[in-house]
Structures are given as structure tokens and as C-alpha cells.
Amino acid sequence: MNRAGLIDRLIAICGADAVFHEASDLLVYEYDGSVDDVVETARPIAVTLPSTTEQVAEIVKVARALGVPVTPRGAGTGLSGGAVAHDSGIVIALTKMDRVLEISREDRTALVEPGVINLELSETTIPLGMFFAPDPSSQRACTIGGNVAENSGGPHCLKYGVTTNHVLGLEVVLPDGRIAWVGGQPAGAPGYDLTAAIVGSEGMLGIVTKALVRLTPNPESVMVQLAAFPDMGSASQAVSSIIAAGILPASLEMMDNLCIQAVEPAFHAGYPMDAGAVLLVEIDGLRESVLETGAEIEAICLTCGATEVREALEQGERDRLWKGRKMVLAAMGRLSPNYYLHDTVVPRSKLPETVARMDEISRDFKLEIANVFHAGDGNLHPLMLFDRRKPGDVERVLEAGKAIIEHCVAVGGSLSGEHGIGTEKRDYMTLVYTADDLAAMAGLKNAFDPVGDFNPGKIFPSGYMCGEVRALRMQALAQKHGIHAF
């Protein structure tokens, strides 16, 4: 079967309006939200937009029969290359499967399709007294399916946890085209926790077509505090002191002066322009408890050198403060034509040391680095500002990124807090994991996908998925079926 024959089979499954195969249509699917100077782009053979689980399963069966790789995709907001068809093949974009199928007030759950936008789920359930807690900065665009694939977090993961803490069960299309349900209620049932294995697996074990997610009751009262500090060091100390005092805010976010300079003139969130750093602290719960905890946090911040602490109890003021935080990435274009956003984690106790190291890396590589991060759980998001048109800028960014990762690992941190590994960080996996660790992970992958056609080229460094053997097998299958010119 030639390429045209494959396209015809896909059209027969999904319809002509749900299969893209012209070069101009495929161009946008060569990318995700990552920087293409860092993460390689790749053009798929075709992009399908199925609208049912059965269509997804049929596409996978066709791909398996022909030995064609499959890459699942949500909204394409990922930042590690996970949704890019690294080995070409078929992209299965799940954005048309966007229904909230069922909401249970009694069980506090929602059954949703993978293309449901993260924020829209909470907008649907908040009037019913519940919300979906994981809230990535891209929540206005990212999908639940993508959140599951990357185990996304967000500002509120400090108190409420990341996506895996809110997924009860999944309907999944397996690499051989079978449809399976894993997990569900009651939680804690005996047997292997396959739901937890699939959440965060970056589409390498199966394609999620439905998710049963846990909803969280709306808190009685919410307060957001803005604390301004003269520098990042004193703000970092305040973070450690708040947690050491036994306080668990709903979120605890930090931004440096570069971020303030970018976002405040554009969105007028109310951040003091002369602050070296600001903390956004959200507290929720019973009103009396919120007020008491807020006073305790204010005292801690002032002791650590805060020059100002403001409280926002009204929804409009809280929304303005949060809009500034959520729009930092969008505002960076005011400071630089390009930026590279990293995602690493360090222990909270290492935040002051790590902030100082960021300053050193900025000076060493002559790069401005804006720091915005989920300070409460040590999840860093340094933004390296550069101009790809200037000779040497890209190379310096890559070297600086390596220095950041090496420091974070050296102080006991991890490679990623929420963006995943994808192709961006697969070659750094050996900094954290031994050969035996990686072999065990590859064994799980092979148990689900022995052929290796589900989102190939992700997570594992070269050699851990028998890439050379697989390449020869792909070549033999292509010759057998007459597939060429892909």
C-alpha cells in the first residue's frame, strides 16, 4: 500500500474533513509549544481528528498493520516535544473529542473526553460547588488528555497535587487497537495501578479517550497575598520559612523583577515595579482560618525582609493578581524576541542556593534569565532570553540550560516538574537514572507496546529501546507493504 492508500483508509475511518495530509496543513503539526532550536521538529504523514473512541482504535489498527508510528496530540501546548511525530507517521489529534460526558455531585467526579479544555471543566463545575484542581499556566488552552499524558501541575499543585492525584480511571486505546478501561471507583482496588502508570507516560503506553477525574469542593473563602521583596534571596527564605512553620498554602508562586518588568506594563496586575521579587500566596478554607493564616504569613514575610504585603479577598482583585502570573510567558516578548523556558525541580531548602546559581549562570553565559516558578514545591521555570538571529545565542542558551539541569540534579532535584521529558530532556535521563532504572522503565514500555510504535523517540536516551533493531524492522515492513516516500 502506498501513501495515497494509507490516506484513503484514514479518510474512510474519520471522513475527509478530519484527515490532514497536504504539506500546508501539516506544517502547524510539526511543532508543539517548545523552542524548535532545542526540540527537533518533524512532519507527520497525516493528521487525523477522530471524534469517537472507536475511530481512534481503527486508526491505531491500521497503523499497526502497516508498521506506521502513532503520536497522540492534544492542544499542542506541551513544552518538551512530546506531541511532535519524531519518527513521522500518523498524528492522532484528540481535540474534537471535547465533551464533558457526566458530572456526579455525589461522588464529586466528572467523566470527560480528552479534548476538554482544562479551564472549561472548572467553569462547568464551579457553579455546582466543585472545581478541577490541576491548573497549568496554559489552562485556557491545554486539554485534559494532554494533562494526563504529561502529569501536569500548576500553581495549586502545592496543596492539591498534580494530575495523577485527580485521575480515578481511564479509557485507553492500547497499541494493538484494543479498548481497555483501567482504574475507576472504588479507589484503592487490588491489582496493579495501571492508571498511575499511564498518567505521565507521554502517550507511549496508550491513547486516553476518556478520563474519570476527581473534583474538589469549592473553598468557603480564598485570599491571595502579594508580598514584595528587595531580592530573590529574601523571597526564597520566606518560602522556606512559610513551609517550615507548618503552613500549606493552596499556592506559593515567585517572580523576579524581569518578570515584573515584562508583565506589569502590559496587564496592570498591581505588582510593584521596583520589587526585586514578589510572592503570590493563595490561602483557602474556612474564612476564620484563612484570615488567621494570612496574618501569620504576613508576619513571616515581613521578618524575612518584605517591603510590602497586600491582601486580596475580592474576586476581581484576586483575578488581576493571578492574571499577571499566568501571563508572564506571553509578556516576555516585550523584553526579548525569543526565550527558552526550562522546567526543573529542587528541594525547597535549596531554593536560595539555586537562585544564587541562576545569577551565576546568567553572568557566565551573558544571558538574561527571568525567574518565575512554583516556589512552594521547588518547581523552577527559568526563562532564558535570547535572539536566535544573533550568532552564538542559541549555543549559549543550550549550554546555560545544561548548567541549570546539572545544578538542579546535583542538589537533589529532578529533570522536570510538569513539562515532561519528551525529546527535550531524554539525553539527560542518565544524570538521574542508572542503566538498570532505564531498562526497567523500557520494560514497562515494551509490555504495553512491544513493537515500539507509540510515540517513539521520547523519554529514553538512544539505545534503551533497541532503536537500531526497530529501524531495520520498519524498513522491512515498508518494503513488504510497498510504503515509500514518507
Q: Tell me the torsion sign for CA atoms 67, 69, 72, 75.
A: negative
Spans of all domains in the chain: 100-217, 221-330, 335-410
**Digit-coded pLDDT (tens) for 386-417:** 999 999 999 999 999 999 999 999 999 999 99
H helices present in 347-389, as ranges: 351-364
Same fold, 100-217 and 221-330: no
Q: Which residues pair with 180 in a beta bridge?
A: 172
- Model confidence at 38, pLDDT cuts 50, 70, 90, reads confident
**pLDDT over 90 at 35, yes or no:** no
Q: What is the mean pLDDT of residues 468-479?
A: 47
Helices (H) and strands (E) in the chain, counts: 17, 20
Q: Kindly indicate whether the domain formed by 100-217 is annotated with CATH number 3.90.1640.30.
A: no
Q: How many angstroms separate the Cα of 138 from the Cα of each of 79, 80, 141, 237, 328?
A: 11, 14, 6, 28, 11
What is the residue whose three cell numbers read 513551609?
Answer: 243
Over residues 235-246, the mean pLDDT reads: 95
State the DSSP H helix or E strand holding residue 331, giving kind and residue range, or none if neither.
Answer: helix 328-331
Fold classified for 221-330: Alpha-Beta Plaits (3.30.70)
- 36 pLDDT band, cuts 50/70/90, is confident
**pLDDT category, 1, cuts 50, 70, 90?**
low
Fold of 335-410: Alpha-Beta Plaits (3.30.70)
pLDDT per position as a tens digit, 77-134: 999 999 999 889 999 999 999 999 999 999 999 999 999 999 999 999 999 999 999 9
